[in-house]
Amino acid sequence: MNKSDNKNEKKCKLCNKPYTYNYELFGRKCLKNLYKNFKIAIPKVLNKENYFCTRIAWRCHKFFLNKDKKYALVQNYIALDYLKKINNENFISLAQIIQSNIDEITAFNKKYRILFGDFTLNDFYRAYNSYKDYEEFNIKLDKSNINEDIKKNDYYEMQEDYKKYKEAIKKIKENQKNINVKIYDLYDESFLDACEVIFDTTKMKSPIFHLAFYNLQREFWKIVVAGGILFDMKLSAYLLIKSIDLPEEKENEEQIIDDEYVNKILFSNKEFTNKINSYLNGEDVNIEDSNVTFNDKDLFFSLHNVTLKIKGNKNKLGIWSLEIELKDKYDFTDIIWFNGYANKDFTENIPKALVSSTLNNFASISSAYDVLKNYKFTIKIKVNSYRM
């Protein structure tokens, strides 16, 4: 199916799968499971979703809620239910926040929240399902002949690694404030080794580690990479952070970047302005050029296969008004990003280790964790007084 056909596609808040039925939160299959899990008999009403939400509201002793509040309540309620089932001490504070969300939803209160922070209902759904798998795994492990000491050692080792990671990050954070420290000096093999702990795929199945690593990987990419290695590569950092912050449901949508900050980055780049200038002949310009590539470090890192459109005209004083568009795809599964970078001779500033397979692996693991998302984007730039 063509991706652009799915523009108005709805995704189930629980399983995140697309559905077309006329419900607002859940696909039909998930709704049926919810009825079953909360032991509510399926009624013969037309809107079974709304009925379900009303019943949950009653269960919370909440009446006369408008629809938005009711639907928000239900999402908090389901998330809390998952946390209660997982029943792990690491989730106590999480559960408290969600409980207070539920308490705050009343017919009179204007403010209400659906979950909090970056969490979606799908995160809780996945955490719970991973937990079930993990439990099964533990039961199997208990029945197996692996002795208790080995199991404990594993956990201990993990804690030690985590301590190393925390110290490594602390060092980076402290030094980022100090401009005099050459930021690249802080990154070496031992640093990457210390960070490896949060990219442990074997822990992905555990809900505790999954949530923890998800957040720590975000921290890694934001602070360590975008703020550190890429600190003089502003467009690369900008696009990377966008990839981290992109909500899952927007992954298939093209992102329009219309940002003065990006314009500034591009127009202070010599190679970029030279490229633009090369198209500005005569009195007006209207071109579209595909497969445009760049060699400059930042542009090479961030733009891979650009379709460039320029439209504009020149006034009598030789000043151009321009509308520029750069279309590209930011794709981590592709990872031209690091591989391409390693092949280029840019490494004078950056230790080789950083562009080696280690960071590649981290990127693909973070894609699996859904921390890094691919997206199509168009950068739109309007300039009214451009001189060549």
Single out the segment in contact with Zn ion by CB under 5 A; choices: 6-14, 74-82, 254-262, 306-314: 6-14
- Shortest spacing between CB 371 and Zn ion, in angstroms: 22
Q: What would the x/- binding string for Zn ion be over residues 101 to 140, using CB under 5 A?
A: ----------------------------------------
Should residue 14 be labelled a site residue for Zn ion when binding is judged by CB under 5 A? yes
# residues near Zn ion by CB under 5 A: 5
The least distance separating Zn ion from the CB of residue 42, rounded to whole angstroms, comes to 16
10 lines the binding site for Zn ion (CB under 5 A): no
C-beta separation of 275 from 294 below 8 A:
yes
Please choose, from the candidates 203, 251, 198, the residue with its C-alpha nearest in 3D space to the C-alpha of residue 224: 198
Site membership for Zn ion, residue 15 (CB under 5 A): yes
Nearer to Zn ion, 14 or 324 (CB): 14
Interacting residue with Zn ion among 10, 11, 12, 49 (CB under 5 A): 12
- Between residues 19 and 294, which has the closer beta carbon with respect to Zn ion? 19
Question: Are residues 168 and 194 in contact, defined by beta-carbon separation less than 8 angstroms?
Answer: yes
- Write the binding mask 19 to 58 for Zn ion: x where contact by CB under 5 A, - elsewhere: --------x--x----------------------------
Q: Can you tell me the distance from the alpha carbon of 85 to that of 92, in angstroms, rounded to the nearest whole number?
A: 12
Minimum distance from residue 370 beta carbon to Zn ion (Å) = 17
Element (H, E) at 79: helix 67-86
Q: CB 251 → Zn ion: shortest distance, Å? A: 17
Closer to Zn ion by CB, 14 or 74: give it: 14
Tell me which H or E stretch contains 170: helix 148-176
Closest separation in Å from C-beta 50 to Zn ion: 17
Distances (CA, A) of 98 to 75, 79, 93, 372: 10, 8, 9, 26
Taking the C-alpha atoms of residue 339 and residue 355, their distance in angstroms, rounded to an integer, is 7
Asked whether the beta carbons of 204 and 368 are under 8 A apart, the reply is: yes
Q: Which pairing describes strands 284-292 and 306-314: parallel, antiparallel, or unpaired? A: antiparallel
State which residue, 23 or 369, has the beta carbon closest to Zn ion: 23
**311: nearest Cα among 323, 301, 299, 319:** 323
User: Of 14-22, 57-65, 70-78, 342-350, which segment contacts Zn ion by CB under 5 A?
Assistant: 14-22
Closest approach of Zn ion to the CB of residue 11, in Å: 8
Cβ distance to Zn ion smaller for residue 28 or 205: 28
In the complex, least distance from residue 39 CB atom to Zn ion, rounded to whole angstroms: 19
Of 27 and 228, the one with the shorter C-beta distance to Zn ion is 27
CA 288 to chain centre: 31
Residues 384, 321 contacting (CB under 8 angstroms)? yes
Of 4-12, 66-74, 90-98, 165-173: span binding Zn ion (CB under 5 A): 4-12
Give me the DSSP letters along 328-376.
Answer: EEE-TTT-HHHHHHHHTT-GGGS-GGGGSHHHHHHHHHHHHTTSS--EE
Residues that bind Zn ion (CB under 5 A): 12, 14-15, 27, 30
